[in-house]
Structure 1
Amino acid sequence: MIRVLVVDDDFMVAKVHSGYVERTDGFSVVGVAHTGADAVRAVRDLRPDLVLLDIYLPDQDGLSVLRELRSDPSTVDTDVIVITAAKDVETVRGAMRGGVLHYLIKPFSYAALRDQLLHFATLQEKLRRLASAGQEDVDDVFGARPRTASTLPKGLAQPTAELVEQALRDHPDGLSASECAQVTALSRPSARRYLEHFAETGRADVRLRYGSTGRPERQYHWRS
């Protein structure tokens, strides 16, 4: 079980985000803090695996909390995801320099946070299993896998690829090509081309779904 500390100055927002965490398999909330000082104290006392850290706190900003955590040997190993309404570039840059895993801008959906939590869990498990890391492993950890239009085969467009990706992310139980076409308003052949591209590049898994009659149908699942 991955233990999470939720830090937010708004009591109701903290409650909502805590609910999101508890809904995600493999995660539990071990504490909630509403000020920077309480956040630092909670990390030292509770030793969570992950902190969801707000930037706007009443006594000090989240970046100051982050720097304090990183300078203390007892808390330096705690991972952090920033959750905030702050959109200014300097805050984003400061979070990046502080070694945060991700930066979620409020308001965000449960699905958006769930994806980051599951990604965190996957990386932690992968790092535990590895004796040494290859370039692909390092790319996974640092999020260096390219996602520009140039990575797509000829005939596929980045906006459409992002549309199909979002459809898969929004349907964790998987989609067939026909179902994806309905969700995205694409033709079935077009939807299938993008789905097959994601499967071939390892970004989606394919499973066979058997009906009562006929051939099994290919069902695509986005890999968290």
Structure 2
Amino acid sequence: MIRVLVVDDDFMVARIHVGFVERVDGFEVVGTASTGAEAVRAVEELRPDLLLLDLYLPDRFGLDLLAELRAGPHPCDAIVITAAKESESVRSAVRLGVADYVLKPFGFPDLEERLRRYAAQRAVLERAEVVGQDDVDRVFSRVSAGGAVVLPKGLSPETARLVEGTLSGAGGTLSASEVAEGVGISRVSARRYLEHFVAVGRADVRLRYGSTGRPERLYRWTG
């Protein structure tokens, strides 16, 4: 579960955001804070993974708060939720590495999409094992606004759709060789696409051990 702290000085708005987050699978709200000082204490006590952070707090500007938290012992990610449309606020948020920037007002589907996109990006980082450039490319891959995965260099959207269709239509697990045969590409190419889908959280992989040799990697589509 991704642990979320909601930081907003408007009690009713915070309640709405809490309700939105709790409707999204894989996320849980661990607390709320209405000031920067409360947020600092809450981060220290609750150690959330993600802040839903308003910028206009009574005692300080939200991005200043985030910079302080990032330098502290419990840094966490942040999605900015604000009415601040100033270009400098957006640029500062980008420089601080916020996961997203959402303008008020917004509805549940918008926040849900952004939370799921954040979860996919987080999965990339958690699962990444960097051996070469392909692995680095997977870490830096992003999910687009429409929900489609931006593929690393060397992978084509057309082939990715074929691999996705073969794996998702299997109703179970497939090996890279089986996917390659179904799509009409090499086993090495099929494995690159499959490993990418695993990295962005759209497929799972498990090992099947035989009597001799290396274990076989079996993939299952999770969507």
The TM-score by the shorter chain falls in which range? 0.5 to 0.7
Q: CA RMSD for the aligned pairs? A: 2.7
Percent sequence identity over aligned pairs: 50
Residue number in structure 1 paired with 2:135: 134
Pairing of 1:33-72 with structure 2 (within 5 A): 33-72=33-72
**Candidates 101, 107, 110, aligned match of 1:109:** 107
Gaps of 5+ in 1: 148-161, 169-196, 209-222
* Alignment coverage as a number of residue pairs: 158
1:27, CA displacement in angstroms?
Answer: 0.6
CA distance in 2 between counterparts of 1:52 and 1:64 reads 15
Looking at structure 2, the residues matched to 48 and 199 of structure 1 have their Cα atoms a distance apart, in angstroms, of: 39
Pairwise CA distance, 1:71: 1.7
- Which residue is 1:79 aligned to? 77
Separation of aligned partners in 2, 1:199 and 1:40 = 47
Q: Which residue of 2 aligns with 1:96?
A: 94
3-state DSSP class of the match of 2:117?
helix
Superposed CA offset, 1:158-216 (max 9, x none): xxxx9xx59x9xxxxxxxxxxxxxxxxxxxxxxxxxxxx976565xx6567xxxxxxxx
TM-score (norm 2): 0.63
Q: Aligned runs of 1:1-224 on 2, under 5 Å?
A: 1-72=1-72, 74-76=73-75, 78-132=76-130, 134-140=135-141, 143=142, 165=146
Runs of 4+ with >6 A deviation: none
Go from structure 1 to structure 2 and tell me whether the alpha carbon gap of 1:104 and 1:200 turns closer, same or farther (over 3 Å shift): farther
Report the more deviating stretch, 129-138 or 20-29: 129-138
Q: Distance in 2 between matches of 1:91 and 1:81?
A: 13
Displacement of 1:35: 0.6
Corresponding residue for residue 215 of structure 2: none
Structure 2 Cα separation of the partners of residues 43 and 109 of structure 1:
26
Structure 2 unaligned spans of 5+: 149-155, 170-201, 203-222
State the TM-score, normalized to the length of structure 1: 0.62
Distance 1:199 1:113 in 2: 29
1:62-94 deviation line (CA, Å, top 9, x unaligned): 01111111121x122x11111101000111111
Distance (whole Å) between structure 1 residues aligned to residue 114 and residue 17 of structure 2: 13
Post-superposition offset of 1:44 = 1.1
